[in-house]
Every structure is written in structure tokens, then in C-alpha cells.
Amino acid sequence: MKEDLFPENIQITDCTESDYISLRRMSYTQKGIAKNWDFIKVHDSVAVILADMARRELILVRQFRPPVFIREKTGITFELCAGITDKDLTPEETVREEISEETGYDIPLEKIERVTSFFTAVSFAGSRQTLYYAEVSDAEKISEGGGVGTEKLEVIRLPFDDAESFMMDESKPKTPGLLFGLIWFIRNKMPNLPEDSL
């Protein structure tokens, strides 16, 4: 795996203005008790489980996440292909765009299957992530992926047979969405694979 994802010249300062988050405080009364709750307002997001059935591999991404770096000094996380819904696009169109930008596959909208949605970081953000599933092939590969603009990530291929051991490997930082996606794939897609692919 590439190691050039790790940045240089790291500095940490107070954030007084952002295009992506805003700090809020809710004041309320619950059973006669006055309370305050501080949280951040963020965009909702989409994520997608990508499977290459011919190669029997799942396609993930690996990138630097500053909050993880602050906590663990690693900063490099394994994730599903994902993105925030901050454009004038449907969630499915956003997923299609993210697949192309991050992994280099051009997937028709009709091949993108909605799985479910759930809330993330419920104590301080409460954003909704909608999860999708799509299968990819070499015929749909149009680039190497890796992100656009200042985005910098690495495409990772995970063999189906290694999914469960990967889930339990704490040396590879990963998101709850990725773990849930892997469980969903193992339960809903792995049993349907032809015998010669197991």
C-alpha cells in the first residue's frame, strides 16, 4: 500500500468558520431539568459497497483523516467509497459521481442498489448516511480513481475471503459504515456466489 497519503507540515488551530460544519447549542427542558447540548451541523452523506464479482474483491478506499490522527496518531483509515450530499444531485447521482471520482468506475444509475440509511455520530452530529451497493467490472473502468481536486486517496481491493478477518483487524482503522457494509455483503451476497468462487 502507498504511504504518500500522510501529510506534511501539520498545524492545528481554532476553526472559526467552515464551509462544512457549524457549531450549535440546543437548550431544552427534559422532565423539568434544563439542559444544554452542543453539537455540529454537518451535511448528510452517501456510501457504497462496491464488489468486483469477476475478481471476487471488494473495492475500498484509504485516506488521511485529521480527527483520527489527533486521537491515534495514525490518521489513515479504510472506508467505503463515500461523499457528502452538498450538490444539487439526487443521492444516487452523488453515489455515481463518487464512484467515478474515487475508484474510477463509470456505473449506470440503474446498477446502484439502495441498501438502507442510518445516523452517524449521534451525540455530536447526527448526520444521515445512505448506503448503496453496486457491482463493477473491468469494462466500466475509466480511470485509476484516487479523488479529484485536492482530494487524495488510495483505492484498495479486499478479497471476499479476507473480509471477516479484515473486519476484526484493529491495526487497520476503519469506519462503522464500512464494518456494517461488510457484514451486509457477507450475509446478503456471499451466500449467492457460485460454488467455484467460494
- Cα(179)–Cα(170) distance, rounded to whole angstroms? 12
Sequence spans of domains, the chain: 41-189
Q: Is the pTM of this model over 0.85?
A: yes
Q: Which residues contact 1 (CB under 8 A, 6 or more apart)?
A: 62, 154, 156
Per-residue pLDDT of 91-135, as tens digits, reads 999 999 999 999 999 999 999 999 999 999 899 899 999 999 999
Per-residue pLDDT of 20-39, as tens digits, reads 899 999 999 999 999 999 99
Q: Please count the helices (runs of H) and the strands (runs of E) in the chain.
A: 4, 9
| CATH number of the domain located at residue range(s) 41-189 in this protein | 3.90.79.10
Tell me the three-class secondary structure of 14-68, residue by residue. CCCCCCCEEEEEEEEEECCEEEEEEEEEECCEEEEEEEECCCCEEEEEEEECHHH
The pLDDT confidence band at residue 196, using thresholds 50, 70 and 90, is: low
Residue 88 burial by CB count (10 A; 0-12/13-18/19+): exposed, middle or buried? exposed
